[in-house]
Chain A
Amino acid sequence: MPMKAIIFYLLALLTVGSAAVVAFSRNIVYSAFSLLGTFMGVAGLYVLLAADFVAVIQVLIYVGGILVLIIFAVMLTHRIDDVAVSNRSVGRIPAAVIVVSVGVLMGTAIVSARWAQTANVRVAPTTAGIGDAFLGPYILPFELASVVLLVALIGAIVVSRKEIR
């Protein structure tokens, strides 16, 4: 069994197992912390896909930003230690039916479709190419992204501050 396959299956197990804990855990604190495993496993999969820059960004933004934010929000809302209240699930059976049917449909598509394959699968540093793409063909979405982030920043402040009269 080649090394790459071993690493892939370990990362896939980490990712899917942690995602299962996120989806099924009764305690929202466990869900929030196992999100860490999912994000790190996904970052490892990005490395296997030769996307070094995106993997680092994944660790920085998801683990360093979004996950900390989610844990803060979990801790700021009350009764997290009460298992019965903290993370209730409703409608498990209809949701399971929908989810299984969507999964079977997409799994069939994945197995049966003839995906395009490129001739040269490159494993090379990507940062310079991504920078050229951002400042070349994707310059307009790149600038719009900065506006979106500014709006999100101001919007979060406006929504969450106390009103002062």
Chain B
Amino acid sequence: MSGALFEIGLRHFLCVSLFVFVLGLYCVLTRKNAIGILMGVELILNSANINYLAFSHFSSGRYDGQVFALFVIMLAAAEAVIGLAIVLGIYQNFATIDVEATDNLQG
């Protein structure tokens, strides 16, 4: 058992990634603050990246996982820019970023 604990392998990284994903999912589900929700999304994307790199290192031994991780980082940057611009626009119009207060489109 001690060998399994101290020999760092694929499953260790997958477990760290699982914890980060679960915390990010909880953050997305419970926050009312739009910036808090974006933080949860960033946590989820980071956990996905850990998985990409862990499988690239331990399972395939090629660079494809790292290339995909770079694409994920690029898309996370674009998502953060657009998301925060929208949040600031909501704040200018509603004077709050509570996602439950912005229900103008509700029928």
Q: Is the CB of A115 within 8 A of B10?
A: yes
- Measured in the bound complex, the distance between the Cα atoms of B82 and A45 in whole Å is 28
Please, which residue of chain B has its CB at the minimum distance from the CB of A25?
Answer: B36
Interface centre among B5, B11, B20 (most CB of A within 10 A): B20
Please, which residue of chain A has its CB at the minimum distance from the CB of B83?
Answer: A73
Interface flags for B8-24 (1: CB within 8 Å of A; 0: not) read 10111111101111111
- Measured in the bound complex, the distance between the Cα atoms of B23 and A76 in whole Å is 26
A residues neighboring B (CB under 8 Å): 1-2, 4-5, 8, 12, 15-16, 19-20, 22-23, 28, 31-32, 35, 38-39, 42, 45-46, 48-51, 53-54, 57-58, 61-62, 65-66, 69-70, 72-74, 76-78, 86-92, 94-96, 98-100, 102-103, 106-107, 110-111, 115-122, 126, 129-130, 132-134, 138, 141, 145, 148-149, 151-153, 155-156, 159-160
B residues neighboring A (CB under 8 Å): 5-8, 10-16, 18-27, 29-33, 35-36, 38-40, 42-43, 46, 49-50, 53-61, 63-64, 66-67, 69-71, 73-78, 80-82, 84-89, 91, 95, 97-98, 100
